[in-house]
Amino acid sequence: MSKGAAIQRFLTGWGRRVGGIADVERPTAIRALIPQGPSAIARGLGRSYGDAALNTGGRVWLTERLNRILAFDPTTGILQAESGVTLSDVIALGLPHGWFPYVTPGTRHATLGGCIAADVHGKNHHREGGFGEYVEQFTLVLADGKRCACSRTEQAPLFWSTIGGMGLTGFIRDVTIRLRRIETPVIVRQHLPARDLAEMFRYFETPEFDDVYTVAWIDALADEKSLGRGVFMKGHHAARTETPPDRQSLAWQPTAAWTVPFNAPTWLMNPTTIGAFNRLYAWSQARTTAPTFSTLDAFFYPLDRLTQWPRLYGRPGFLQYQCVLPTATAPTALPDILRLFARHRCPSFLAVLKRMGPEGQGLLSFPREGYTLALDIPAKDPSLLPLLERVDEVVVKYAGRVYLAKDCRLKAATFQAMYPRWETWRSVQHMIDPEHRFQSDLSRRLQLTAV
Amino acid sequence: MKKAVLILGAGSEIARAAAAAWARRGYAIFLAGRDVEDLARSAADLRVRYGVTTDHAVFDAQAEDSGRIITDAVQKIGALSGVLIAFGDNGDQRRAETDDAEALRIMDVNFVRAALMAAAAARYFQPLKTGFIVGISSVAGDRGRQSNYVYGASKGGLSLFLQGLRNRLAREGVHVMTVKPGFVDTAMTFGKPRLFAVAAPAAVGEAIVKAAERRRDVVYVPGFWRSIMTVIGFIPERVFKKLSL
């Protein structure tokens, strides 16, 4: 076979606000994985919103064709696969045997390599931690081309530098993860409307309302007296005894998706349309407060039903801002932040609030104990960047941090204030990759690798 | 009888997709190709996803004893129902114009070796009075173009060879199918400028297996390439010469 050479291609982050031309290569066999050229970064399905999977002027490896499942034990739920395997693949294989990913982000079109690099979290972080908790082992291809097996017991510092390490320690090649036992493909979910932030916090913190998965949708356009108004949602995998017999089959039936065919006009996303959407959404989500049955797709992956949904934001794309704040400071910090956005009339679909459990061991992992807020914001507004810098200041002041997998604009100094373990990470990274062969637009912006 | 397919050139993305499509139907799969470490991974993937028997071995189409792979495969996974000949090499047309060794290599791999493997498969299936031989040719073999006629000629030769073989074996119960892929999204076409949409390998693999089940003779994948090649076939040579195709 003739080897696929690198080609020049313009790549963007999922939010499509930032992009750059890179030498793109798509290896189909593992022997092709030798770091070449000045710098390289792996890119899975490109679901990180910012510049984590961009390497302008350098090399980008697409991992989509390194997608073979190497082993799966249906009795233990241990799965070994190449890093380009997606959560969809994992579900298609695992579900019929009663297994589901322990931790899943809001899309199943994410690769295992990407899930490790961003140490992704789901709606269960407050109880069960992040993706990294369920990674048993992985093989890294290092800057010198050597392979290195990493786990909690072998090469532990490298293991914890790679979990959440944004792909900068090496090429994550083979991954071993542990899945969750489930009895049915059904989620028992319950939606409870909250009038304001205080009521929202009450839902999150009252054991009676807690569940394996909890999340809240917040109307970011709500005014001062109803700041934090939204819908609290909770759910868990239904036991067989909870589920009607006709919904117990574990056969995988993915929901069909619609594609947004082209860029929407930029005016589509404005405070009026988004405000109307928010009211409609709030009404539809809170019509019933009784528990209902939901499919896995409807509960975890509502946005996957709309392929290429970022096109709705038109050519300028959008930004996602996600931060986490400690439980102790969240009741003060979150209203400050929501007020900044509301005063700016910053139109946002999908402002999402989740609770997070204790910090994991990943040195650059985002999750820490507290509350995380995420907002999608159209990028067309030029005054957005100064606004977000003001929000950064609030986040730093209250000992919070911003999620790197969503970010394209944080400053190096702000990043360092948010991630106190960054120096430990950098010392490991510099030891393993002294010539900085692994780099991305993000790593240069945050001065994580060579500047 | 248990069904089994031997895939020659199993490292290619079209071959991988076709193997998956057969595995989904319960066929045992024998993967043969040059990169044995990588084949082991593809074989594991087929076992895990589809629960089928697999085996694999190193195979070099240009080696002296390349025909032995058929008996090896039969020994390891039992009687074969079919063989897919999927190896090929685009080569470097420009180099082949000045370097006969490159031209010879392109013609040897794509025509001579592929045809000989089809012949070896025919010798295996003919006494059994059953089985199928699927050869991957190319739309490039339908008309000589200035930009890749060395590859095109070898694939055209393979198409003719398979056609003759199909006619000889038709009354013996052995089916020979010629596959002519258009642009498929593989390493061969990655990033190349192209006139038409590229097809996903998974769709092409599925189409090949479906066509083989229906005992089609010549299939274009995706199907619209039949019309494109018909139109291209109608262009008078004196006009064609002036196009830089």
- Which percentage of chain A shows pLDDT scores above 70? 98
Whole-angstrom distance, CA of residue A297 vs CA of residue A256? 10
- Give A-chain residues touching B187 at CB under 8 angstroms: 1-4, 26, 28
| Higher-scoring residue by pLDDT: A276, A291 | A291
Environment class of B191 (CB within 10 Å of its CB; exposed 0-12, middle 13-18, buried 19+):
middle
Give the per-residue pLDDT at B68: 94
> Per the structure block, which two tokens stand in for A333?
């910090």
Give the per-residue pLDDT at A32: 74
> Per the structure block, which two tokens stand in for B142?
């339908």
Give the per-residue pLDDT at B193: 67
Q: Determine contact: A76 vs chain B, CB below 8 A.
A: no
User: Tokens 């970022």 map to which residue?
Assistant: A310
Whole-angstrom distance, CA of residue B16 vs CA of residue A82? 15
Q: ipTM of this predicted complex?
A: 0.91
Give the per-residue pLDDT at A226: 86
Tens digits of per-residue pLDDT, B193-233? 666 678 899 999 999 999 999 999 999 998 889 988 999 88
Q: Which residues contact B207 (CB under 8 A, 6 or more apart)?
A: B219, B221, B222, B223
Give the per-residue pLDDT at A1: 30
Mean per-residue pLDDT over chain B, rounded:
94
Per-residue DSSP letter, A177: E
Give the per-residue pLDDT at A3: 44
| Higher-scoring residue by pLDDT: A5, A94 | A94
| 8 Å CB contact of B44 and A69 | yes
Q: Which helix (H) or strand (E) holds A307?
A: strand A306-307
- The backbone torsions φ and ψ at residue B210, rounded to the nearest 5 degrees and listed phi first, read -60, -45
Tens digits of per-residue pLDDT, A106-143? 999 999 999 999 999 999 999 999 999 999 999 999 99
Q: Count A/B contacts: CB-CB distance under 8 Å.
A: 61
Q: Which residues contact A98 (CB under 8 A, 6 or more apart)?
A: A181, A182, A183, A250
- Give A-chain residues touching B191 at CB under 8 angstroms: 4-9, 24
pTM over 0.90: yes
Q: Determine contact: A156 vs chain B, CB below 8 A.
A: no
- The backbone torsions φ and ψ at residue A279, rounded to the nearest 5 degrees and listed phi first, read -65, -40
Q: What SS3 string covers A4-32?
A: CCCEEEEEECCCCCCEEEEEEECCCCHHH
pLDDT at B136 over 70: yes
User: Tokens 């013609």 map to which residue?
Assistant: B107
> Per the structure block, which two tokens stand in for A195?
């009038």
Chain B residue with the nearest C-alpha to that of A94: B49
> Per the structure block, which two tokens stand in for A223?
């005014």
- Give A-chain residues touching B43 at CB under 8 angstroms: none
Whole-angstrom distance, CA of residue A295 vs CA of residue A189? 10
Region A27-31 average pLDDT: 88
Mean per-residue pLDDT over chain A, rounded:
92
Give the per-residue pLDDT at A208: 95
User: Tokens 């993915």 map to which residue?
Assistant: A254
- Give A-chain residues touching B44 at CB under 8 angstroms: 68-71
CB B185 within 8 A of CB B198: yes
Nearest beta carbon to residue A2 from set B44, B48, B188: B188
Tens digits of per-residue pLDDT, A182-229? 999 999 999 999 999 999 999 999 999 999 999 999 988 887 888 888
CB A347 within 8 A of CB A318: no
Tens digits of per-residue pLDDT, B59-116? 999 998 999 999 999 999 999 999 999 999 999 999 999 999 999 999 999 999 999 9
Q: Determine contact: A75 vs chain B, CB below 8 A.
A: no
Give the per-residue pLDDT at A450: 66
| 8 Å CB contact of B41 and A82 | yes
Q: How far is CA B126 from CA B81, B118, B135, B169, in A?
A: 12, 12, 17, 7
| Of A268, A270, A274, A278, the residue nearest A219 (C-alpha) | A278
Radius of gyration of chain A (CA): 21
Region A44-71 average pLDDT: 96
Task: Work out the number of other CB atoms within 10 angstroms of the CB of residue A130.
Answer: 29
For B33-67, the DSSP string reads ES-HHHHHHHHHHHHHHH---EEEEE--TTSTTTT
Q: Please list the alpha-helical segments (H only) found in A3-144.
A: 87-94, 112-117, 125-128
b/e for B89-114, b at 16 or more Cβ within 10 A? bbbbbeebeeeeebbebbbbbbbbbb
| 8 Å CB contact of A2 and B35 | no
- The backbone torsions φ and ψ at residue A171, rounded to the nearest 5 degrees and listed phi first, read -90, 115
pLDDT at A451 over 60: no
Give the per-residue pLDDT at A382: 79
Q: How far is CA B182 from CA A97, B137, B179, in A?
A: 38, 10, 10
| 8 Å CB contact of B38 and A30 | yes
Give the per-residue pLDDT at B1: 56
| 8 Å CB contact of B187 and A30 | no
pLDDT at A407 over 90: yes
Whole-angstrom distance, CA of residue A73 vs CA of residue A177? 11
Give the per-residue pLDDT at B113: 97
| 8 Å CB contact of A28 and B11 | yes
User: To the nearest 10°, the Cα dihedral for B111, B112, B118, B119?
Assistant: 150
Region B43-57 average pLDDT: 97
Q: How many helices (H) and strands (E) in chain B?
A: 10, 7
| Higher-scoring residue by pLDDT: A55, A309 | A55
* pLDDT tier for residue A2 given thresholds of 50, 70 and 90: very low
- Which percentage of chain B shows pLDDT scores above 70? 98
Per-residue DSSP letter, B111: I
User: Tokens 């200041």 map to which residue?
Assistant: A393
| 8 Å CB contact of B41 and A31 | no
Of the candidate ranges A70-79, A358-367, B1-10, B26-35, the one whose mean pLDDT is the lowest? B1-10
Q: Which residues contact A347 (CB under 8 A, 6 or more apart)?
A: A220, A221, A269, A270, A271, A273, A274, A275, A377, A378
